Each structure stands twice: as structure tokens, then as C-alpha cells.
């Protein structure tokens, strides 16, 4: 890999439609707001969302017909299967082809130096998830869930898969948590607290709740996500909190790794 990517982060869920792409896009923008060099890779070949959420018109370019220069939008580097492959053609791809294409995206896209590369994964526990975990040093996964009691089963399923491939789960975020009516009342459409409960039961970090907000959907559909369009909104602040908590977990991991290295170094001196 010619690019230098410090942290690969997977945004994942066992169940579809819970808001992975929404979280991935707004997380990437929030990490950018923290001053990090950030990239976003849409690994969903069958249903790529990034071009819709961040602008359909852009296209990646190439200087030599081999390398791929990612699209830049709002200060983050982007790559999506949707820019390269017609989703209708991709429908007939099998797992290994899919995994190969995603690997190529990591290796051949000129990401440059990045602090974070956020992967927006397709739903489920399939080939792409496994391939990424096996071929690259993944820092960890951010799992997205919804508040219902039944969503716990999906979190357990997702955790089991990541445990199997030894990708640590950095934390859990509950999306579509509650709805604030135009009158200001809070309505808990899917009950409340499922995400926090799941995190507690499974021993995972809980990074917060994102409300259902019409504006989140409208901004995504318009190609300017809420963190960019309305940075002072309550929802944007909640995405910023997710980014800060995720970053804090990673900083702590890095510090622990550095300490372990130093510890090993010392041990070596003593034993020789």
C-alpha cells in the first residue's frame, strides 16, 4: 500500500437499514472537524450510498490509468463502488469478486496520509467483513444498532463475527433513538435504551444516541450531510460526541500498545 493509513475503522451492523451509511458519513465529517485527515470508503457494492450522501457528480480520476485518485468532498477523501461499478452489474458478483474489489480499493486508491479511513460496510456478516479483517490491520469496528429489544440479537450476531476474526469492537451507537416532534415533544418510537442495555450486557463501550430527525434524512439525500449542513444542530453535536468517544478509545489503545512495547523492551534488557 503506497498510502499511509493510521486507523482503519469499520462501520457495521448485522441488520440492514439501521443507519450505517448515515453514521459513517457524519462520523467521517466529525473526525475531519477534529483536525484529522480522513477518508471514507463505501464498501457496499450492492447498495452504495456514499455518492448520494456526498454528491453524485464527482468521479475519481487517474493519472496513469492504474492508480485511482479519490474524490474529495468537504475536506475528506472518498471512494465508492458506486463510482466504479454499475450496481446492476454488481448484483451478479460473488463473494470473492466483491472482496477482491474492496481490497483493490484499499491498495490502489491514492489515499495519501490519513489518520482515519472509515469503511461503510454492507449489512451482514459476509465476505467483505471477513476479507477486510483478514487482509488489513483493522483498528476496530463501530457497531450501529436501533433501540428495540430485538436489535440485541443482531448486535450479538455482529459481535460474534468480529470476535471470530479478532477485530475489536470499539463501541456501539444507537441510531433512530427517539423523535423530537415539531412541537418539541420527545417520542420514543422504537422504545428506548436497547442500545445502552446491549452495550452493558456485552461489555461494549456505548458512544451515544442519535435521534430520528427529518433533517438528517433530507441532508443525506441532498448530498450535504447534517454535520456539514447544520453543524450546530443537536444531531450534529451527537455525531461529534460519537467521533470524540471513538477517538478517545483509540488513543487509549495506542497508549496501551506503546506502553506494552516499552515494557517488552525493558524485559529484554533484564533477561540479557
Ligand X SMILES: Nc1ncnc2c1ncn2[C@@H]1O[C@H](COP(=O)(O)OP(=O)(O)OP(=O)(O)O)[C@@H](O)[C@H]1O
Closest to Mg ion by CB, 122 or 211: 122
Q: Which of 26, 49, 177, 236 binds Mg ion (CB under 5 A)?
A: 49
CA distances from residue 224 to 192, 215, 221 in whole angstroms, order as listed: 29, 11, 8
- The entry of Mg ion, ligand X, none near residue 75 (CB within 5 to 8 angstroms by kind) is none
Cβ at position 259, least distance to ligand X in Å: 36
Phi-psi region of 239 (alpha: psi -120 to 50; beta: other; left: phi over 0): alpha
Q: Which of 15, 20, 73, 159 binds Mg ion (CB under 5 A)?
A: 20
Query: Is residue 129 close enough to count as binding ligand X by CB under 6 A?
Result: no
Query: Is residue 47 close enough to count as binding ligand X by CB under 6 A?
Result: yes
Stretch near ligand X under the rule CB under 6 A, chosen from 85-93, 207-215, 249-257, 262-270: 207-215
Q: Is 263 exposed, middle or buried (0-12, 13-18, 19+ CB in 10 A)?
A: exposed
Query: Is residue 18 close enough to count as binding ligand X by CB under 6 A?
Result: yes
Stretch near ligand X under the rule CB under 6 A, chosen from 16-24, 72-80, 200-208, 255-263: 16-24
Q: Any residues with CB less than 8 A from the CB of 194 and at least 6 apart, and which?
A: 145, 146, 147, 148, 149, 151, 152, 174
Cβ at position 244, least distance to Mg ion in Å: 23
Query: Is residue 139 close enough to count as binding Mg ion by CB under 5 A?
Result: no
Stretch near ligand X under the rule CB under 6 A, chosen from 2-10, 20-28, 54-62, 128-136: 20-28
Query: Is residue 176 close enough to count as binding ligand X by CB under 6 A?
Result: yes
CA distances from residue 89 to 59, 85, 102 in whole angstroms, order as listed: 18, 7, 16
Strand (E) positions, 43-175? 71-73, 76-80, 113-120, 140-145, 169-174
Query: Is residue 133 close enough to count as binding ligand X by CB under 6 A?
Result: no
How many angstroms separate the CA atoms of 65 and 174, rounded? 42
How long is the chain? 272
Q: Which residues pair with 69 in a beta bridge?
A: 61
How many angstroms separate the CA atoms of 93 and 85, rounded? 11
Contact 131, 104 (CB under 8 A): no
Query: Is residue 237 close enough to count as binding ligand X by CB under 6 A?
Result: no
Query: Is residue 80 close enough to count as binding Mg ion by CB under 5 A?
Result: no
- The entry of Mg ion, ligand X, none near residue 22 (CB within 5 to 8 angstroms by kind) is ligand X
How many angstroms separate the CA atoms of 147 and 194, rounded? 4
Stretch near Mg ion under the rule CB under 5 A, chosen from 19-27, 58-66, 173-181, 222-230: 19-27
Query: Is residue 22 close enough to count as binding Mg ion by CB under 5 A?
Result: no
Contact 143, 63 (CB under 8 A): no
Cβ at position 20, least distance to Mg ion in Å: 5
| Binding stretches for ligand X (CB under 6 A) | 13, 16-22, 44, 47, 49, 122-123, 175-176, 210, 212-213, 216-217, 220
Query: Applying CB under 5 A, which residues contact Mg ion?
Result: 20-21, 49
Amino acid at each position: 500500500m503506497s498510502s499511509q493509513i493510521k486507523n482503519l475503522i469499520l462501520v457495521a451492523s448485522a441488520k440492514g437499514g439501521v443507519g450505517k451509511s448515515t453514521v459513517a458519513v457524519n462520523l467521517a465529517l466529525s473526525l475531519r472537524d477534529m483536525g484529522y485527515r480522513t477518508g471514507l470508503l463505501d464498501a457496499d457494492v450492492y447498495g452504495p450510498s456514499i455518492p448520494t450522501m456526498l454528491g453524485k457528480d464527482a468521479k475519481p480520476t487517474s493519472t496513469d490509468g492504474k492508480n485511482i485518485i479519490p474524490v474529495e468532498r468537504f475536506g475528506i477523501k472518498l471512494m465508492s463502488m458506486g463510482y466504479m461499478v454499475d450496481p446492476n452489474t454488481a448484483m451478479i458478483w460473488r463473494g470473492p469478486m466483491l472482496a477482491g474489489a474492496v481490497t483493490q480499493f484499499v491498495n490502489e486508491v491514492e489515499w495519501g496520509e490519513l489518520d482515519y479511513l472509515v469503511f461503510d460496510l454492507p449489512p451482514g456478516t459476509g465476505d467483505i467483513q471477513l476479507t477486510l479483517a483478514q487482509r488489513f490491520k483493522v483498528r476496530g469496528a463501530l457497531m450501529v444498532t436501533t433501540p428495540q429489544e430485538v436489535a440485541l440479537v443482531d448486535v450479538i450476531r455482529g459481535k460474534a463475527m468480529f470476535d471470530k476474526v479478532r477485530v475489536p469492537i470499539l463501541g456501539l451507537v444507537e441510531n433512530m433513538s427517539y423523535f423530537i416532534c415539531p412541537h418539541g415533544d420527545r417520542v420514543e418510537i422504537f422504545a428506548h435504551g436497547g442500545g445502552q442495555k446491549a452495550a452493558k450486557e456485552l461489555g461494549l463501550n456505548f458512544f451515544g444516541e442519535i435521534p430520528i430527525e427529518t433533517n438528517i434524512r433530507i441532508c443525506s439525500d441532498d448530498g450535504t450531510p447534517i454535520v456539514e449542513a447544520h453543524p450546530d444542530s443537536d444531531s450534529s453535536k451527537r455525531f461529534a460526541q460519537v467521533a470524540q468517544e471513538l477517538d478517545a478509545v483509540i488513543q487509549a489503545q495506542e497508549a496501551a500498545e506503546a506502553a506494552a512495547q516499552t515494557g517488552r523492551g525493558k524485559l529484554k534488557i533484564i533477561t540479557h
